[in-house]
Chain A
């Protein structure tokens, strides 16, 4: 496989469930990201990992818990979510620094989450 792959592509969960989103990058990059994409809103950066260390957490509720066990894998653990958390969750990776400046992001296909 190449690029950035995300699983599952679709997830429906109740508010009391616990689930996880998985991301894997095959590009040899050293940084990984979680973004949230809601209808009619700009992409929202949630978490940034550089060299497996979390370097940014953009005031994301604690019901979202990221994990980066190595530079190729990123997880987003979900628990007691709210219906307003329904969105497309996008994983991305980049090489930092890039050859000409801040790393260009390469996105996965996204995980469409619906919270009932």
Chain B
């Protein structure tokens, strides 16, 4: 099946620092999505991207759909303790319908006060 490589696997940062994580795929994707999962909860959609080159912000979060359509990144600016959690990238390739998403393994973010 489709492989999504998400990095880094984990990050330990100081409150106030900026964070960057990315995801790459082995084939062209039509959709990139970024989710956050808090402990004991289900993933929550943060940002959805549907066009190559698209740059979208949601508060302190910014995500971009790579021009090659094989990658995406998520940036978090001025991190705060509640940013702690696991961030997942997900995407659909050309043959996907019905939200059949491929998921990355996640980036575990820890923010020290």
Which of A's residues lie within 8 Å of B, judged by CB? 4, 6, 31, 33, 40-43, 45, 48, 50, 55-56, 90, 92, 94, 96-98, 100-110, 112
Contacts and interface: CB of A to CB of B under 8 A. Distances in A.
A43 B71 CA distance: 19
A104 B105 contact: no
A15 B107 CA distance: 33
A94 B99 contact: yes
Given A48-B100, A55-B98, A56-B98, 5 more contacts: A33-B99, A43-B90, A96-B99, A102-B97, A106-B45
Contacts of B84: none
- B interface bracket (residues with beta carbon within 8 Å of A): 20 to 34
Contacts of B104: 42
A107 B98 contact: no
B11 interface: no
B20 interface: no
B100 A102 contact: yes
Contacts of B102: 42
A101 B42 contact: no
A105 B99 contact: yes
* 4 closest A-B pairs by CB: A107-B42, A103-B99, A43-B103, A94-B99
B99 A102 contact: yes
A96 B41 contact: no
Contacts of A107: 35, 42-44
A87 to B, nearest CB: 13
